[in-house]
Amino acid sequence: MKKAVFITAVFCLMLLIPTFMTSCSKGDDKEDEIASVKNEEIDIIEEIRPNETIQNEVEGDSDEDFAKGTPAKGKEIFAMNCTPCHGQDGTGGGPTAAALVPKPRNLTDESYVSTLSNEHLFKVISGGGLAVGKSAAMPAWSTSLSDEDIRDVVSYIRVDLCNCEFDGGN
Ligand code: HEC
């Protein structure tokens, strides 16, 4: 009698396994569904708060994270790559600047740089002026500088050149 129960149990298990496996493969559809619901949520949130911080939240980076670098290293990187246009002191008077329209920005101008978020600074240095709808004369550095280098430069701009924080876009 016990044997019969055991056999029935094994038989039931054998029936259950394929059912379980098909429900697993259906999981993909569910993931798609969850992803599309998530996207809708993001769309809705973006509609409510149409600013760039939403992207950070999705990627898990806060605006401060883009400036978590070493200013002293950023200074060296700036001296090697940026001074021809932005000048030794960052005010925008480098030797190449004369020929450029628009002029390279004065990165020591607190009233201007405080309107730019750390993420924006990161983006414009990494992807160049075009990445933020500005002049292509500001080159993209993502091929020659690592993300860490760029964060170092962003911190250098914040701490030394402008000595100012992002005012939150107000
Ligand atoms: C070939 C010249 C050139 C070099 C080299 C250069 N820039 Fe620029 N940069 C520009 C110009 C031109 C602008 C102004 C773009 C505009 O206002 O449309 C600019 C603008 C900027 C801005 C302001 C962006 C904004 O949204 O207003 C930042 C920040 C900046 N550059 C950082 C850097 C850093 C950091 C480096 C070095 C890694 C660098 N630049 C190297 C020409 C240059």
Residue 67 beta carbon below 6 angstroms from any ligand 1 atom: no
Output 148 or 15, whichever has higher pLDDT.
148
The CB-side HSE value for 20 (13 A sphere, CA atoms) comes to: 6
**Does the global pTM surpass 0.85?**
no
Same domain, 77 and 19: no
142 CA to middle of ligand 1, Å? Answer: 13
Mean pLDDT of 146-169: 96
Closest by CA position to 75, among listed 59, 61, 86: 86
Q: Answer yes or no: is 56 within a domain.
A: no
Q: Are residues 43 and 73 in the same domain?
A: no
Q: Return the higher-pLDDT residue of 35 and 97.
A: 97
Residue 170 lies in a domain: no
Contact 155, 69 (CB under 8 A): yes
Q: 26 and 72 in one domain? A: no
Print the domain residue range for 126.
63-161
Q: How many domains does the chain have?
A: 2
Nearest-angstrom CA–CA distance, 17 and 11: 10
Angle in degrees, CA 162, 106, 75, rounded to 5:
55
The verdict on 137 and 109 lying in the same domain is yes
Half-sphere exposure in the Cβ direction for 13 (13 Å, CA): 6
Mean pLDDT of the chain: 83
Is any atom of ligand 1 closer than 6 Å to the C-beta of 30?
no
pLDDT at 168: 87
Do 112 and 143 reside in the same domain of the chain? yes
Ligand 1 geometric centre to CA of 84 (Å):
11
Regarding the beta carbon of 153 and ligand 1, being less than 6 Å apart is answered yes
* pLDDT at 50 > cutoff 80: no
Verify whether ligand 1 is closer than 6 Å to residue 138 (CB atom): yes
45 and 77 fall within a common domain: no
CA 85 to ligand 1 center in whole angstroms: 8
Residue 166 domain-assigned (yes or no): no
CA distance 91 to 105: 7
The protein residue with its alpha carbon nearest to ligand 1, atom 11, reads: 104
Minimum CA distance residue for ligand 1 atom 24 = 124
Kindly state if the Cβ of 134 falls inside 6 Å of ligand 1.
yes
- For 66-76, what is the mean pLDDT? 97
* Inside any domain, residue 38: yes
Question: Which residue out of 81, 85, 155 has the highest number of ligand 1 atoms within 8 Å of its CB and is therefore the one to mutate?
Answer: 85
Same domain, 32 and 67: no
168 in any annotated domain: no
Alpha helices, DSSP H only, in the chain?
2-25, 27-48, 53-59, 71-81, 83-86, 110-113, 118-127, 147-156
43-70 mean pLDDT: 67
Residue 97 clears pLDDT 60, i.e. is over it = yes
